[in-house]
C-alpha cells in the first residue's frame, strides 16, 4: 500500500488527480470553504434526502461535472476525533471496494487533520485491503486500491506526513501479527514462529534474535514452561528478540508474549465447539513480533527486549496432569489444578527470565482468560498493574493508537484464591474474578521490576463471519514503546 500526502485546499478539491475522492464530512452542515463544484451536488443530495450528516452514512456520486476524480464518495463522521475519522474512512472505502478505483484521495471537511488522523487513515486503508491467502489460494483478489493520498492544507502538512510514516510502520506490524495469528497451527508451530523471528532480524539490522531449543530451555531451568509442552510432538522454542536504539546503559522495555500455537486445554480438554479458534492463542507472541517490526521501522531511541515462550498444549500420555506440581524458574512450586490454565505457566518463567535484563518495565501480553472477555467484551483489552505511572502510560498509548484498554483491579484479597496445600501456589483460583486471579498469579513473579499485564483474549481475534486476527495490541504497544524513547 502506497500512502502519500498532498497539499491542496478545500476550495480546489475538484482538481485532485485521483480515481476517486473520499470526502469525510463532520458537523451539522457543510464547510463553507468547500469547493463549489462539490458543495452543489452534496447540498442537492442533502435536500433530496439522499445523504444525511449522521455517522456511518455514505453517498456515491459518479462523474460529477467539473470534478477530475471520476468517483466521489461522501462519508459522514460522528465527530472530529481520529476514531471518528477512521470509522468514516472505513465506511467510505467500503463503498469503493467493488469499483476499479486504484488511487483514492481522502480529504476532510469540518475536521482539522493532524498526525493522529493521518495514522488512523493508514490503519483504515490497510485493514480494508488485507486478505489472508497463506493457506487459501482461492481467496478473492485484493481490492484494486493501491494508493491513498491524504489531502491537507499547508499548515498541517508536516504533521500529516509524520502520522503517515508512523501509521505505515504500525500497520506493517499489525499485518504481520494478523498473518501469523490467522495461520492454522500446522502452519504456525513454535519452530515456524521462531523462523519468522529470525527472518525479522535478518531484514532489520537493529534487531537481534536468539532461539532456545528444548535442551537450552531445560538448562535455564524453565520447569513450568516445559511442563506445558511435554505432551506435544512439536518442540518448544523460547524466542529472545533485542532492539537497541539507545545507549547500552539504558534499561530496556521488555515485552513478553504468550505463544501457545495451539491450545487443546491438555488433559483438562476444551469443548470441541470453536476449538479451532485456539490457533489464536499465540496472539500475544504475534503482537510482540508485530511491535518489533514497527519499532525497527521507526527506529526510536529506546532499548527493547521481546520474550516469546512458544509451545503447544496437547493431551498425551506424557501430558501434564491435574494435581501435578511443577517447579518454576523462580524456584516457586505450582500445583496445576487445571491444565487449560497453561498460559500463565509459560509466562511466569518468561517473567522470571526477564529479570536478567534489569528492565525499566515489563509488559506481558496474553490471550489469557475467557473471564476477561466476559468482563470487557471485545472492544478493550484488560490492563492489570499496581504501578500508577505505567497504567497511565499504557492507557494513553491505547488511546493514541485507537487500541484501548481498561484497567482492572489487583486487590490483595484476590490472591487468597491461589493458595495450595501441596505447593507454593495453585495455577487457578475460583471461577469468579478469573481474569484477576490469573493476573495475581503472574504478579508473584514480578517483584523485581515494574510490571503490567494485558489480557487480550477478547481483542486479539474476531469470531463469526469476520473470523480472523486483529493484530491488536500492536498499536498500543508501539505507542507505549515510542513514549519511552529518550
Measured CA to CA, the distance from residue 59 to residue 74 in angstroms comes to 5
Q: Is-contact 292 304, C-beta < 8 A? A: yes
- Cell numbers that stand for 106 in this block: 481522502
Catalytic residue (choose from 71, 258, 344, 444): 344
Cβ 121 vs Cβ 148: under 8 Å: yes
Instruction: Return the C-alpha cell found at 156.
Output: 498541517
Listing DSSP states for 414-442 in one string gives GGGGG--SSSSEES---STTHHHHHHHHH
Backbone phi and psi for residue 161, each to the nearest 5 degrees, phi listed first: -65, -35
What is the sign, positive or negative, of the torsion defined by CA atoms of 478, 479, 481, 485?
positive
For 76-97, b/e burial (b = at least 16 CB within 10 A) is: bbeebbbbbbbbbbbbbbebbe
Instruction: Give residue for cell 476532510.
Output: 108
| CA of residue 433 relative to chain centroid, distance | 25
Beta pairing, strands 361-366 & 461-462: unpaired
Among the listed residues 308, 338, 350, 317, the one whose alpha carbon sits nearest the alpha carbon of residue 221 = 350
User: Is 136 a known active-site residue?
Assistant: no
Look up cell 442533502; give the residue: 46
Q: Please report, for the chain, how many H helices and E strands are present, in that order.
A: 13, 20
Q: Is the dihedral of CA 140, 107, 46, 124 positive or negative?
A: positive
Question: Which of 318, 236, 328 shows the shortest CA–CA distance to 282?
Answer: 236
Active-site hit among 68, 270, 450, 462: 270
* SS3 state at 54: coil
Residue 133 known to be catalytic:
no
Query: Hey, CA dihedral for 440, 444, 449, 453, is it positive or negative?
Result: negative
| Residue that is written with C-alpha cell 462519508 in the block | 75
- How many Cα atoms within 13 Å fall on the side-chain side of residue 274? 8
Cβ neighbours of residue 381 closer than 8 Å, sequence gap 6 or more: 372, 398, 403, 404, 405, 406, 454, 455, 456, 458, 459, 472, 473, 476
Is the distance from CB of 151 to CB of 16 less than 8 angstroms? yes
Active site residues: 270, 344
Amino acid at each position: 500500500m502506497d500512502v502519500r500526502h498532498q497539499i491542496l485546499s478545500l476550495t480546489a478539491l475538484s482538481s485532485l488527480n485521483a480515481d476517486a475522492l473520499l470526502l469525510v464530512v463532520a458537523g451539522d452542515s457543510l464547510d463553507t470553504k468547500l469547493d463549489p463544484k462539490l458543495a452543489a451536488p452534496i447540498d442537492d443530495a442533502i435536500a433530496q434526502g439522499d445523504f444525511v450528516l449522521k455517522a456511518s452514512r455514505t453517498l456515491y456520486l459518479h462523474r460529477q461535472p467539473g470534478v477530475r476524480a471520476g468517483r466521489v464518495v461522501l462519508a459522514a463522521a460522528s465527530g472530529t476525533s481520529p476514531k471518528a475519522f477512521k470509522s468514516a474512512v472505513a465506511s467510505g472505502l467500503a463503498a469503493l471496494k467493488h469499483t476499479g478505483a486504484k488511487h483514492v484521495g481522502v480529504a476532510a471537511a469540518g475536521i482539522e487533520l493532524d498526525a493522529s488522523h493521518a495514522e488512523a487513515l493508514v490503519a483504515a486503508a490497510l485493514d480494508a485491503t488485507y486478505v489472508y491467502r497463506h493457506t487459501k489460494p482461492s481467496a478473492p483478489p485484493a481490492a484494486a486500491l493501491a494508493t491513498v493520498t491524504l489531502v491537507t492544507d499547508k499548515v498541517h502538512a508536516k504533521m500529516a506526513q509524520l502520522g503517515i510514516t508512523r501509521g505505515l510502520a504500525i500497520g506493517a506490524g499489525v499485518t504481520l501479527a494478523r498473518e501469523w495469528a490467522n495461520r492454522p497451527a500446522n502452519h504456525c508451530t513454535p519452530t515456524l514462529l521462531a523462523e519468522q523471528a529470525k527472518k525479522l532480524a535478518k531484514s532489520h539490522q537493529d534487531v537481534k534474535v536468539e532461539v532456545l531449543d528444548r535442551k537450552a530451555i531445560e538448562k535455564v531451568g524453565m520447569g513450568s514452561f516445559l511442563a506445558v509442552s511435554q505432551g506435544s510432538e512439536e518442540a518448544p522454542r523460547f524466542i529472545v528478540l533485542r532492539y537497541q536504539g539507545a545507549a547500552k546503559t539504558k534499561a530496556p522495555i521488555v515485552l513478553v508474549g504468550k505463544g501457545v500455537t495451539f491450545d487443546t486445554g491438555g488433559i483438562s480438554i476444551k469443548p470441541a465447539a470453536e476449538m479451532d479458534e485456539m490457533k489464536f492463542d499465540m496472539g500475544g507472541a504475534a503482537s510482540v513480533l508485530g511491535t518489533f517490526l514497527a519499532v525497527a521501522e521507526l527506529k526510536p531511541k529506546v532499548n527493547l527486549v521481546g520474550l516469546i515462550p512458544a509451545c503447544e498444549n496437547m493431551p498425551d500420555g506424557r501430558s501434564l496432569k491435574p494435581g501435578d506440581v511443577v517447579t518454576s524458574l523462580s524456584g516457586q512450586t505450582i500445583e496445576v489444578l487445571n491444565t487449560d490454565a497453561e498460559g500463565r505457566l509459560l509466562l511466569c518463567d518468561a517473567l522470571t527470565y526477564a529479570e536478567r535484563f534489569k528492565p525499566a518495565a515489563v509488559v506481558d501480553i496474553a490471550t489469557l482468560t475467557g473471564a476477561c472477555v466476559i468482563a470487557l467484551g471485545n472492544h478493550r483489552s484488560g490492563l492489570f498493574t499496581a504501578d500508577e505511572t505505567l497504567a497511565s502510560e499504557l492507557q494513553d498509548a491505547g488511546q493514541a493508537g485507537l487500541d484501548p484498554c481498561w484497567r482492572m483491579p489487583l486487590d490483595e484479597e484476590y490472591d487468597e484464591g491461589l493458595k495450595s496445600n501441596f505447593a507454593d501456589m495453585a495455577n487457578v483460583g475460583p471461577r469468579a474474578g478469573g481474569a484477576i486471579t490469573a493476573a495475581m498469579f503472574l504478579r508473584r513473579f514480578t517483584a523485581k521490576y515494574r510490571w503490567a499485564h494485558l489480557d487480550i483474549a477478547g481483542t486479539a481475534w474476531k469470531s463469526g463471519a469476520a473470523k480472523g486476527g486483529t493484530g491488536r495490541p500492536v498499536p498500543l504497544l508501539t505507542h507505549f514503546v515510542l513514549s519511552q524513547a529518550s
